[in-house]
Structure 1
Amino acid sequence: MPIEDYGVWKAKPVRFTYETDEEDHVSPHLSLFFTTSDNSRGESRAAINIKSGDKSDSRLAFWLVKNFENFQNERLRELKPGFHRLEGAEQGPNGLALDYIRGNLFRRETGRLLPHDVPGPDNDILDELIPVLDGAIANDSIIYIFGSRFGSGSGSGIHDIHMNQGSPRRWRRDNGVYQDGGILLDFGDHWTGVFIGFASQAVHTDSEGQPSPPHGYLTWNDILNPEIPREQRRKRDISDRPVQISEAVISPDMVTLTNHTDGAVQLHGWSVRDTKGDSDYLPDATLPPGRRQSFQLSGCALPREGGIITLLNDRGLKVDGVRYTAAQTRPGGQIVSF
């Protein structure tokens, strides 16, 4: 079943502690303490996983988006400080809930596969998280923490601040869509996004958040593991997403697709999905190797205020996805490059 009491907590980060490998080798956490604007509830705690509980591979998949351009940022700013449960329409394509796969939050190839705590600089999850949180506290930023609320009063907090779908074995019970955790930081002049997954989680999931296809699925380890030769990882990545969205035109709505392989790609049964979840099937075209082609959209819309564009193959699996903001569009038909 999906995780309970999913939502977003708007607050001010004030301090944090973390457990090293020596202190907790099994299930260490970074504890981020935060307050609301009136400090009426005292400090609450965000329990952030810094190691996977999967003994077969305990590394984390980590994405840091330093300039996170999100068409929902202004809606987040309008929220009052405190916890906001996200359900119904907010837990869907056009809502505030996070979904690592359907929300096009980051380019997946920019992620890193990181261990918990090892000697040396810039080589583990603590090396990544500590500078981000130090900067957020020093700059008095507003933080938006997505996850599952626990407790009440002064003992309240939030956990599951990571990808909550595509998990194998005993963690399958928590899988679901539009319920992923994460951290967004508003520095005033820019936003930063922090997204955490587990190496063993699936890159594709079905409508219930379960690994798709159910057997032999691709994991974050398969495409981010630095121990796998780069060319091998690149071949897996291109094989999984041979075509990418390279441009879009806002009014009239069009998308330009580029074939990054050395072979022709048949687009029969492929579709484009918009922010609202509406789809438009592409014509039965063949995209030659290394070529790009533009397609007019009629069944889905690309709003000027920003949104997401997702390309799906004939099995309904995500091939590529992008997001854009109102600042990237203007009247008269704006070409947005990705």
Structure 2
Amino acid sequence: MPVKKYGVWKAKPVSYIFQKNGKTPHLELKFSDGQSGQALAAINIKSGTKNQSQLVYWSDEDFKHPIVNQLEDLDTGFTLLQGTDEQKLGGLALDYIRGNLFQRQNGKILSHNIPGPNNDIIDSLQPIVDKSISRKATIYLYGSRFDNGNGNKGIHEVHINQGNTDPYQNENGVFQDGGFILHFNDHWEAVFIGFASQAIHTEDGPLDPGFPIPREDFLTWKDFLDPVITDIEVQESPVVISQALVNPPGPDNQPESNPETVSLKNRTAKAVDLSRWKIRNKDGQFEELRSDSTLSAKGSKVFEVPFCPLSNQGGLITLLNEQGLRVHGVSYTKAQVMQGGGVVSFNL
């Protein structure tokens, strides 16, 4: 069952408190869209999952992603995304697994209320929220809208909404994740929150979209980001996208045009067989790599992508293995294409 009334709310943050007690403590953020008084964003700071209460947290203080151009054009207030064409690759809806919003390995597993400085989710969220209020940033809150009819309205489910098992599997879906993005005068920032118990790979659909892959004994964010298991991240992402030639010199779409390319790098000490792997763009088009494609140990190779056009206006590039699971993904903006003379390099 999809998240009800899923959408994005464009507003100004006003004030907040941390509700630290109870089964599911929250950051309660009051915001105003200038239309009908203040509303409330209930943002989880602790998981309600039994035996695993930790969250996984990503923040980006210099968020560069093509979605920001779409956000800036939104009218102030709530925009419903559920059931619209925005719930797809390249649309306005968030998807932590398919949208290439962040680099997975940059996440942190955090508890909600540990004594001492800089060691829990509250310590991480508070300076970001303080700055957004003091500098009058515009906030874009993603989640499920609620309104109980007596003036208590707002948004909740401001976190990843896929990869769940019982009792939360009914909330699973794709392109319906929560989070919040901030627009300051000179830059963008973003915060994405999930639960450590959720799966890092989920079904695309149409059958059981957002359900864990595999259904049992799946890899969780807790597993993936566990500092004790030092090689798990490389096992999941043995090959990464290091560079893309998005806008080659010369005319576009002509027989004599230079091809667009994607450069892949092998991070391991063993050769990697790329047979049936795919490179996918923001529109879901893909280039399937040849059956004899191999990357040598620690090697790099440039692949032409004639069936996977890369937009000069900004886009996504995702590498999928032979099972269709995401190995690595990046995003880029129009500004990055222009600054690099058509070439975009990605920090690994």
2-structure distance, mates of 1:327, 1:42: 36
2:133 matched residue in structure 1: 137
2:210 match? 209
Q: Distance in 2 between matches of 1:25 and 1:151?
A: 22
Number of residue equivalences: 328
Instruction: Describe how 1:109-120 pairs up with structure 2 within 5 A.
Output: 109-120=105-116
Contact in 2 for aligned 1:250/1:333 (Cα 8 Å): no
What is the letter of the counterpart of residue 322 of structure 2? D
Calculate the TM-score normalised by the size of structure 2.
0.92
Question: Could you tell me the TM-score, scaled by structure 1's length?
Answer: 0.94
C-alpha distance in structure 2 between counterparts of 1:129 and 1:142, whole Å? 16
* 1:198-235 deviation digits (Å, cap 9, x = unpaired): 00001111110111122221111012234xx2xx23x1
287-296 vs 217-226, which moves further: 217-226
CA distance in 1, matches of 2:146, 2:309: 38
Between the aligned partners of 2:330 and 2:41, the Cα distance in structure 1 is 29
Higher helix share: 1
Equivalent-residue separation in structure 2 for 1:171 and 1:221 (angstroms): 17
The percent of aligned pairs where both chains have the same amino acid is: 47
Match of 1:28 in 2: 25
Structure 1 residue 289 and structure 2 residue 292: aligned?
no
Q: Read off the aligned partner of 1:270 and give its amino acid letter.
A: W
Q: Which residue of 1 aligns with 2:178?
A: 181
CA RMSD in angstroms comes to 1.4
SS class of match (2:8): strand
- The question of whether the paired residues in 2 share the 8 Å contact of 1:10 and 1:82 is answered with yes
Deviation of 1:88 (Å): 2.2
Distance 1:116 1:249 in 2: 42
Task: After TM superposition, list the pairs within 5 Å mapping 1:1-338 onto structure 2.
Answer: 1-20=1-20, 24-37=21-34, 40-86=35-81, 87-151=83-147, 154-207=151-204, 208-226=209-227, 229=228, 232-233=229-230, 235-251=231-247, 252-284=259-291, 285-330=293-338, 334-338=342-346
CA distance in 1, matches of 2:85, 2:148: 25
Match of 2:337, as an amino acid? Answer: T
CA apart distance, 1:330:
3.0
Distance change >3 Å, CA 302–CA 53, structure 1 → 2: same
The 1:331–1:133 alpha-carbon spacing in structure 2 relative to 1, beyond 3 Å, is: closer
Partners of 1:56 and 1:279 lie apart in 2 by: 40
Moved more, 73-82 or 46-55: 73-82
Please say if residues 225 and 233 of structure 2, whose CA atoms lie closer than 8 Å, have aligned partners that are also in contact: no
Quick check: 2:261–2:302 contact (8 Å CA) kept in 1?
A: yes
CA separation in 2, counterparts of 1:216 and 1:247? Answer: 34
Name stretches of at least 5 consecutive residues in structure 1 with no aligned partner: none
* 1:22-55 Cα deviation digits (max 9, x unpaired): xx14211110000013xx3111000001100112
In structure 2, stretches of 5+ residues that fail to align are: 248-258
1:335 positional shift:
1.6
Q: What one-letter code is carried by the residue in structure 2 that aligns with 1:85?
A: L
Task: Say whether the 8 Å CA contact 1:45–1:157 is kept in structure 2.
Answer: yes
